[in-house]
Chains A and B, each alone.
Chain A
Amino acid sequence: MRLHRSWAGLAFLASIASGQTPPTAAPRAAGGGDATDLSILYAGAPGGEREKHFVEFLEEWFPEVHTISLEELDSKAAEPFDVVVADWKPQYKDGRSLPGAGPKVHLDPGYSKPTICLASVGAAICGGKLDWL
């Protein structure tokens, strides 16, 4: 039994790193090769600010970035890409949970594409050990 769901605020604190500017070209990994030569699928809430921010950021680092609604993500949609970034819009307003704001995702059982899950998206699409504490 859990007493209450966890919250996670800032993951630690630090002064913002200085002297690190985004590259104008994809960086090269040590030892040669372009480790960021990957195609990325951002699966989020279409048309929102988060999608805009993520796409702008990912396009700085990766040569190919596409978008899709998280609610349409499945193996077939993810297959052409190297890595998926799974995200969703805010589910709280003024500190209160918005009923029904969570994504309606139904990944197929065979889904096996590498997927970065932002915040609570992992609990929605993976579950198991990737759950709320």
Chain B
Amino acid sequence: MRLDHPIFHVPLETKLDWSEIATPENYRNWPGGRDLPARMKVWRVHDGEFPAIDVGMVSDPFGYEDSPDCEWISSGVNSKGPNSVALGRVGNFFHWGFFGDPSLMTESGKRVFVNTICWMKQFDGQRPILPAKASQSRDWAFVYVGYIRELGDRDTTFTSHGPDGEKKQTAQEFLRTLFPAEVLAAAGQGEGKLDADKVEAYYREHLEQLVSGQKGLVVDADVVELGVSNRTPEILDRLAERLTTDPKDALALRCVERYLDLPKPKPDVVAWIRANRDRLYFSDVGGFKWRLPPDKLVPRAPRAETPVEPSAAKPVVATASVEPAKLAPGATAKLVVHVRTAPTWHIYPREATGTPNAKAELTPTLPAGLATAGDWIDPESHPDAISRIAILEGAFDFALPIRVADDAVSGRRKLRCKLAYQCCDPFMCRPPESLEVECEVVIAVQ
């Protein structure tokens, strides 16, 4: 749940009462579900459940927020996975997935419903950007891997009805239809029982290069050759560079056709990329395309300040400090970025190799009177248990040597640092993201 969302706070402050339930077993094979504890904290929205009242509805969480007009707010107990959307916004539509009417709602449920009505007023005129889904999000690769784990050992016959009549398949035959043949071959899956760990490892390694093909999610060889993710802005820069060098660059032209939602008539592509780079967003669900958002888009609710404790909702948190915190002109110190990841989550070191996932990148902003005095000192990494790629997890620090100028003036100084990263757990990787930390140092002339 995004407990920082305004629907839980304004205009009516709402006290949610919590209790616990056994974590639904069906969550275990869905992304984010394997390492959930045996019991989970829950909030009751209304009394009554199916079949006494109708079922509610949850929506696909994967790619839900890959367009800027959507907000994932909360899951709800359901028969799929732990992140299924029970409360969420798509443009001017708010999905309240619970069926209970006000006669069944708890007091806090009613107050959140009132707050939701008030929250939605501002989205008048904001139709959904994507009226229909063009593709599944690439994260569905890991849902299908979960199916292998759930069904792989079952002595079950699946019956399907198609144009050629009724068709019966074993569980393994059915599971193979979920993955393109080229993916299974590349993951070393010949005849015989599918190995979920190997298929997952293959998809994790190539997550940033996946594209929706005719028969499922496949690795885009052109993106592999470019050496970037197809959903971070670096691919736009790379395409602009290549087309500037050679306007007939075949690989770049293929990627433009495949990934850019260009207006009609077709503009000068390089000029269009350069003019719009910072506004473009990438949507898997919107067809694996870079798209321009509408001009007047009411933004999502801002996220709360980085919490102290990492969680499944916010797997990476960080703070910063200068050690020592009080310095004289000419002194040296270290800007330290303290990072913590939630259990099962990791990020990639600055010098990680063998992965297309975004490596950690730190960009300090130092005030006048302070300057860097060396390169970042990296924390010790270790190989991931499955992929063997170097990762950082738990609690670790990056340290940057800094020096106070000889003629620095006394006073407090604020230092900032942006940490760009991509975090993954054994089942999924979030899109590359960043956070910013800041801290103070006191310069005191002796």
Contacts and interface: CB of A to CB of B under 8 A. Distances in A.
Contacts of A30: 10-11
A37 to B, nearest CB: 10
A54 B59 CA distance: 24
A27 to B, nearest CB: 6
B76 A8 contact: yes
A4 B64 contact: no
Contacts of B75: 11
Interface string B268-300: 000000000000000001000000000000000
Contacts of B202: none
B19 A15 contact: yes
A2 to B, nearest CB: 9
Contact of A4 (B79, B96, B127, B178): B79
Contacts of B12: 27
B117 A11 contact: no
A133 B128 CA distance: 18
B371 interface: no
A13 B58 CA distance: 17
Q: Is the interface of A mostly helix, strand, loop or mixed?
A: loop
Interface in B63-114: 63-64, 67, 70, 74-80, 84-88, 90-99, 101-103, 105-108, 110-111, 113-114
Interface residues of A, number: 66
A62 B15 CA distance: 21
A76 interface: no
A6 B77 contact: no
B10 A29 contact: yes
Nearest to B55: A7
Interface string A27-42: 1111000011010100
Given A112-B126, A115-B94, A130-B90, A6 B57 contact: yes
A25 interface: no
A126 interface: yes
A38 B118 contact: yes
Given A17-B17, A122-B93, A122-B95, A133 B60 contact: yes
A18 B118 CA distance: 23
A58 B304 CA distance: 30
A111 B11 contact: no
Contact of B17 (A1, A15, A50, A56): A15
Given A36-B118, A112-B126, A122-B93, A132 B42 contact: no
Nearest to B86: A11
A92 B51 CA distance: 8
A51 B122 CA distance: 25
Interface in A46-98: 49-50, 53-54, 56-57, 61-62, 82-83, 85, 87, 90-92, 94-95
A16 B17 contact: yes
Contacts of B122: 114
Return the 9 tightest CB-CB contacts between A and B, nearest first.
Answer: A12-B42, A95-B51, A8-B56, A11-B76, A57-B102, A29-B11, A35-B11, A114-B120, A14-B17
Interface of A: 1, 3-4, 6-20, 22, 27-30, 35-36, 38, 40, 49-50, 53-54, 56-57, 61-62, 82-83, 85, 87, 90-92, 94-95, 110-120, 122-123, 125-133
Given A12-B43, A29-B10, 16 more contacts: A11-B43, A11-B45, A11-B86, A13-B19, A27-B11, A30-B10, A36-B114, A54-B102, A82-B124, A91-B54, A122-B97, A125-B93, A126-B128, A128-B90, A130-B59, A133-B60
9 contacts: A3-B147, A7-B79, A10-B98, A12-B43, A13-B43, A14-B18, A117-B94, A131-B60, A133-B58
